[in-house]
Chain A
Amino acid sequence: MLVHSASARRALRAAFFLLFLPVFALPLLVIAAASFAGGWSGALPSHLTLTHYQDLARGSTVTALLTSVLTALAASAAALTAGTWAALAAQGLGRRARRLLDALFLLPVAVPSVVVGLSLLVAFSRPPFLLNGTPQIVIIAHTVLVTAFAYQSVTAALSRLDPAYEQSAAGLGARPAYVLWRVRMPLLLPSLTAAAGLCFALSMGELSATMMLYPPDWMPLPVQIFAATDRGALFTGAALAVALMATTLLVLAGVARIRTRAGYR
Chain B
Amino acid sequence: MPAPTAAPARTGPPAAPAPASGIRFDDVTVAYGRHGGHGEHTVLDSFDLTVEPGEVMALLGPSGSGKTTALRAVAGFVRPVRGRVLIGGRDVTDLPPYKRGIGMVVQQYALFPHMKVAENVAFGLKAQKAPRTEIPGRVAEALEMTGMAGYADRYPRELSGGQQQRVAIARALAIRPGVLLLDEPLSALDARLRSGMLAELARLHRELPDVSILYVTHDQVEALTLADRIAVLDQARLRDCGTPQQLYRSPRTAFTASFVGTANLLPVTVRRDGVEFAGRPLTVPVGEAAPGATATLCVRPHLIGLGASPAPGGNTLRGTVTELQWRGATHRLYVAAGGHRIMADVRELREPPALGTDIALHFAPEDAVLIPAGLAADGARHA
Contact = CB atoms under 8 A, between A and B. Distances in A.
Interface of A: 162, 164-165, 167-176, 178, 182-183, 186-187, 189, 264-265
Contact of B106 (A164, A174, A178, A189): A164
Contact of B110 (A165, A175, A176, A265): A165
B127 A171 contact: no
A21 B112 CA distance: 43
B114 A173 contact: no
A167 B183 CA distance: 13
Interface of A is mostly: helix
B124 A174 contact: yes
Given A167-B97, A173-B13, A187 B113 contact: yes
Contacts of A265: 113-114, 157
A162 B127 contact: no
Contact of A174 (B108, B127, B172): B127
B123 A167 contact: no
Contacts of B124: 172-174
A164 B127 contact: no
Interface of B: 13, 15, 75-77, 96-104, 106, 108, 110, 112-114, 123-124, 127-128, 155, 157, 171-172, 175, 181
Given A169-B123, A173-B175, A162 B108 contact: yes
A175 B110 CA distance: 17
B60 to A, nearest CB: 22
Contacts of B99: 173
Nearest to A170: B97
9 contacts: A169-B112, A169-B127, A170-B97, A171-B172, A173-B101, A173-B127, A174-B98, A264-B157, A265-B157
A174 B77 contact: no
A183 B112 contact: yes
Contact of B98 (A162, A165, A173, A264): A173
A162 B108 CA distance: 10
Most buried by A among B108, B127, B155, B172: B127
A167 B114 contact: no
A264 B104 CA distance: 25
B114 A264 contact: yes
Contacts of A189: 114
A99 to B, nearest CB: 19
B155 A171 contact: no
Most buried by A among B98, B102, B171, B181: B98
Nearest to B168: A168
Contact of B155 (A164, A172, A187, A264): A264
Given A172-B124, A172-B127, A173-B15, A167 B110 contact: yes
A264 B154 CA distance: 12
A171 B112 contact: no
A187 B77 CA distance: 21
B127 A175 contact: yes
Most buried by B among A162, A171, A264: A171
Contacts of A176: 98
B155 to A, nearest CB: 7
Contact of A168 (B13, B15, B110, B114): B110
A187 B108 CA distance: 16
A165 B112 contact: yes
Contacts of A175: 98, 127
Given A171-B76, A174-B98, 9 more contacts: A162-B110, A170-B77, A171-B98, A171-B102, A171-B103, A172-B98, A172-B171, A183-B112, A187-B112
Nearest to B96: A170
Contacts of B157: 264-265
Given A170-B96, A172-B171, A178 B108 contact: no
A187 B100 CA distance: 25
Most buried by B among A167, A175, A186, A187: A167
A174 B76 CA distance: 13
B123 A174 contact: yes
A173 B12 CA distance: 13
A165 B156 CA distance: 13
A167 B109 CA distance: 11
